[in-house]
Structure 1
Amino acid sequence: MADFNTHLAVAAVSGGVAITALMVAGVADAQLGLSGFFAAMIGGVLPDVDAEESWTLDLAFTLFALLGSFFVMLSQVARLSIGELVMLWLVTYLFIKLAVCELFIRCTVHRGIFHSLPAGVFFGGLTAALLYHLFHQAPWFCWIVGLFVTGGYLVHLVLDELYSLNLFGEGGTSSSLGTALKIWSNDPWAAFTMYLAAGMVVLLTPGLPDVLARLFSHHTLEAMQLRMWPADVWFGMPFLYNVR
């Protein structure tokens, strides 16, 4: 499979091109552009979260533990002292970072259901749901960022499958072919749970049909097409004529 740097670089380039197109079409501003760009890079490394020795797994659970313990602490600010709040934060952080992370490792296998299309939908929907319910962002912003997470996720899966084909090496295709870009897994319960979770997070955040309608509207696609190449000369330099 592709290494971490390759996944990150390809996801960054793909996300950068896509968000540039949206900004040119006038449907994304600089804030959304930057958020979408980083979302694509995050999505590009997320599928490796189920690898036991993965840098992605450690970072993901560190961030999850920090955010989770912070929100638990905030929920008790009105009734606990500072000392109690600090202890509550620390206990919650250690519980998530050690116990929940260990449980996750024991219940998952690399290239399992987290290396699949429904997992990409789940993480994109989860991103949109968190942005909407915790940070009170507009559905358009939430779903564009979420879709870029899913897009980066898809880039990762496709790259792994291309590397499994061993196009530039010897020895034929790898035994891992077909284990990355899939819609099911060898564990039916895990697959069913992932589909259920993906459907729930998508339903938790409103506005997806409207976002997709605007994203693929005639106006947006036409604006992209009109700005695909310069109308006359490149970079405003007369000697660089545009030849189509």
Structure 2
Amino acid sequence: MANFNTHLNVAFMVSGTLSLTVYKAGLIDDSGFLVCVALGTIGGLLPDLDSDNSTPIKLGFNITSFIFAFGLVMHWRSDLSLLALIILWLAGYGFMRYVVFHIFTTMTVHRGVIHSVPYMAILGLGLTCLSYYGLHLPLTTSWFYGLFLFGGAMVHLSLDELYSVNLSNMKMKRSSGTAMKFYQPKDKWWYLLLYTILALLVYAAPPFEMFWSRLSDPSAWAQLKVGILPELIKSMLQ
């Protein structure tokens, strides 16, 4: 299985390259470019959320615990004394960092349903719906956000599968097939739930035809073709 640094670096490079491509094609703006790079990189770490000792889950719960504690203090800052606010801060952080984290790690198994294609598709489509319906972002931007998150996750799963091949004597390791999975008989009821949620999200998602029409517009790729090489190199080729 690929380690944290490999997942982080490869997801960043892939998402950065693709983000630059759609940016130069005029399909996203400056802020959209930065968000797509960030989402693709985050997506490259998401499948390891079910690993109790993984860096992403520890970092994620640490950040979430701080935000949760900060939110509690900000909400009650005018009504409680200083001592009560300090106790609330510590209690809120401790609840998220230790109680919720313990429950989450107890209920999840590494390379379980979270480490699967349908789960990552749910996260990607969910982000698309949230961006379009909740944040009222443009349709093209919303689809790119969801696709970059999902694409980063697919980079993660692909790396794990590649690392399951012993290249020295060209044989499969025992971990082969446990990363890029769509279904497991032992978790059939979980997968039934996942595919039900996924079907509902597909039904509720913004019109994909409009996004595809924008993506396949020849004018966008003509713009990319013009700016793909530096002027010096283009003049040398002429």
| TM-score above 0.5, yes or no | yes
Whether contact under 8 Å (2:27, 2:215) holds in the other structure is no
Partner of 1:145, secondary structure, is helix
User: For 1:71-121, what per-residue CA distance to the aligned partner results, in whole angstroms no more than 9, with x for missing partners?
Assistant: 4555x4497336445543432221111111111111111111111012212
- TM-score normalised over the length of structure 2: 0.81
The worse-fitting range, judged by mean Cα deviation, of 170-179 and 221-230 is 221-230
Q: 1:224 to 1:130 in 2, by over 3 A?
A: closer
Give the corresponding residue for 1:215: 211
Partner of 2:237, secondary structure, is coil
Q: 1:15 to 1:190 in 2, by over 3 A?
A: same
- 2:76, 2:131 → 1: CA distance? 23
- 1:171, 1:48 → 2: CA distance? 26
User: For 1:148-203, what per-residue CA distance to the aligned partner results, in whole angstroms no more than 9, with x for missing partners?
Assistant: 1111001111111122233x322611111111111123322333444455567x48
CA RMSD of aligned residues (A): 3.2
Q: 1:239 to 1:160 in 2, by over 3 A?
A: same
Give the corresponding residue for 1:67: 67
Q: 1:220 to 1:89 in 2, by over 3 A?
A: farther
- 1:93, 1:129 → 2: CA distance? 30
Whether contact under 8 Å (1:25, 1:220) holds in the other structure is no
Whether contact under 8 Å (2:42, 2:152) holds in the other structure is yes
Q: 1:78 to 1:99 in 2, by over 3 A?
A: closer
Q: How far 1:144 sits from its partner (Å)?
A: 2.6
- 1:191, 1:170 → 2: CA distance? 35
Alignment of 1:23-34 (within 5 A): 23-34=23-34
1:236 counterpart (206, 217, 231): 231
- 2:69, 2:197 → 1: CA distance? 22
Partner of 1:110, secondary structure, is coil
Give the corresponding residue for 2:172: 173
Partner of 2:182, secondary structure, is coil
Hey, which of these two has a bigger chunk of helix by percent? 2
Give the corresponding residue for 1:164: 164
User: For 1:32-75, what per-residue CA distance to the aligned partner results, in whole angstroms no more than 9, with x for missing partners?
Assistant: 1001101101110111111121111101112222333444555x
- TM-score normalised over the length of structure 1: 0.79
Partner of 1:80, secondary structure, is coil
